[in-house]
Amino acid sequence: MVSKPSRLSTRIDFDADGKQLSYLQLPHSVHRSAYGWLPVPIACVKNGEGPTVLLLSGVHGDEYEGQITLSKLIGDLEPAAVSGRIILLPMANFPAGKAGLRTSPIDGLNLNRVFPGDSDGTPTPALAHYIDSILMPMADYLLDLHSGGSSLMYLPTAILGGAQMTAEVRQTKLELGRVFGAPYSFLFPDGQGGNATTSASAASHGVISIGTEMGGSGTVTPDCLRICEGGVRRVLRHLGVWHGAIGADEAPAVESRMLTAPSWEYFVYAPDDGLFEPRVELGDEVEAGQLAGYMHEPATPGRAPAPVHFEAGGVVICKRIPGRTERGDCLFHLGIDLED
């Protein structure tokens, strides 16, 4: 199927050398503004020959380490230190980012679940369509910077993609994970987010992609921010697209513990509605059958708490933040060491 042309435009000339700061203009004809557009911030820094690297943050609007990392990087990037092209979308789902929400307040959609998008759709799929049809074909590499968002907290982790890739791509990603140098790296089981994510879009265009899960809880953690800054800049240097010196805020690389989850049994979900009391913390090593916590219901005085157990063992790399919980919410997920 031939893709329809995008309705978005921009004043950026992606073929021009130099540093350009502008907006993707996403048409949005509504009651308060008949001829208006939503301004999705974008920067492009290009100089001579070299690879093109696309950096995204704010795909979920309530994930902040990446947004600050790219904002600072946009300030620091000088064309003289670039060989190739770096394209940055520091607040990719702009309406979600302005509102501090995971999903867009305009159409309620999750940008990371609507790829390859729809040029005639509501703002979120129209934006995904632009990224998929215009930006991905320009790119050699994608870095998509996430944190856990308002509902989850992660150990600082580089995300190296799912299981369906060639051995060569896998080796490249593992190498990029080591260069990134976060304390943890993680390979998701197949199918997380389906085929509608940024990484699926990248794969469909032959773009090598990695991501992050840097903290979360809808806040900014100084440590995660420094790890994110260091990792992103190390990867850019490693790819040869940037030659900038090490900055004061970069955390140094550490040897990354390579983790994976072989199946969805490494994820623990709430069995009922209630108030969850966790009994383990991030970084704990747990065993199959171990107590994960209790579901309480203070609204019914005297109701006994219900225990929740782990079905598999591993290290706790992600936990739920909000105490109020509904059946089906993810409470924890685990990782085990990658056999490679």
For residue 272, report the phi and psi dihedrals to the nearest 5 degrees: -160, 170
Q: Which is nearer to a second copy, 72 or 170 (CB)?
A: 72
* Cα separation values, 328 from 82, 229, 320, 325, Å: 46, 34, 12, 9
Residue 44 CA to residue 22 CA, distance in Å, equals: 9
Count, residues near a second copy per rule CB under 8 A: 98
**From the CB of 14, what's the least distance to a second copy, in Å?**
15
Residue of 70, 230, 87 lying closest to 158 (CA atoms): 230
Q: Which of 148, 230, 314, 335 binds a second copy (CB under 8 A)?
A: 148
Pattern of binders to a second copy over 280-319, x per CB under 8 A? xx--------------xxxxxxxxxx--------------
Verify binding: residue 2, a second copy, rule CB under 8 A.
no
Tell me if 184 sits within 8 A of 289, measured CB to CB.
no
Verify binding: residue 41, a second copy, rule CB under 8 A.
yes
* Cα separation values, 144 from 37, 89, 106, 225, 273, Å: 24, 10, 22, 15, 33
> CB under 8 A: which stretch of 30-38, 128-136, 160-168, 231-239 binds a second copy?
30-38
Q: What's the half-sphere exposure (Cβ side, CA atoms, 13 Å) at 22?
A: 14
Residues 86-115 that bind a second copy (CB under 8 A): 88, 90-91, 94, 97-103, 107-108, 110, 112-114
Q: Which of 54, 64, 210, 260 binds a second copy (CB under 8 A)?
A: 64
Q: Which of 14, 138, 253, 277 binds a second copy (CB under 8 A)?
A: 277
Q: Which two tokens stand for residue 63?
A: 């994930």
Cis check for the bond before 322: say yes or no (omega within 30 of 0).
no
Residue of 209, 245, 236 lying closest to 83 (CA atoms): 236
Q: Which is nearer to a second copy, 176 or 325 (CB)?
A: 325
Verify binding: residue 35, a second copy, rule CB under 8 A.
yes
Q: Which is nearer to a second copy, 281 or 340 (CB)?
A: 281
- Neighbouring-strand partners of residue 167: none
Verify binding: residue 83, a second copy, rule CB under 8 A.
no
Q: Which two tokens stand for residue 223?
A: 């440590």
Residues 237-266 that bind a second copy (CB under 8 A): 264
**From the CB of 155, what's the least distance to a second copy, in Å?**
15
Q: Which is nearer to a second copy, 208 or 216 (CB)?
A: 216
Q: Which is nearer to a second copy, 59 or 160 (CB)?
A: 59
Verify binding: residue 120, a second copy, rule CB under 8 A.
yes
58: phi > 0 → left, psi -120 to 50 → alpha, else beta; which? left
Residue 142 CA to residue 29 CA, distance in Å, equals: 31
Cα Rg of the chain, angstroms: 20
Residues 163-222 that bind a second copy (CB under 8 A): 193-194, 196, 217-220, 222
**From the CB of 108, what's the least distance to a second copy, in Å?**
8
Q: Which of 47, 52, 57, 212 binds a second copy (CB under 8 A)?
A: 57
Verify binding: residue 225, a second copy, rule CB under 8 A.
yes
Q: Which is nearer to a second copy, 145 or 208 (CB)?
A: 145
Residue 116 CA to residue 60 CA, distance in Å, equals: 17
**From the CB of 325, what's the least distance to a second copy, in Å?**
8
**From the CB of 226, what's the least distance to a second copy, in Å?**
11
- Neighbouring-strand partners of residue 23: 41
Q: Which is nearer to a second copy, 4 or 243 (CB)?
A: 4
Q: DSSP secondary-structure letter at 242?
A: B
> CB under 8 A: which stretch of 18-26, 132-140, 156-164, 236-244 binds a second copy?
18-26
Residue 99: Cβ within 10 Å count: 15
Residue of 77, 24, 70 lying closest to 46 (CA atoms): 77
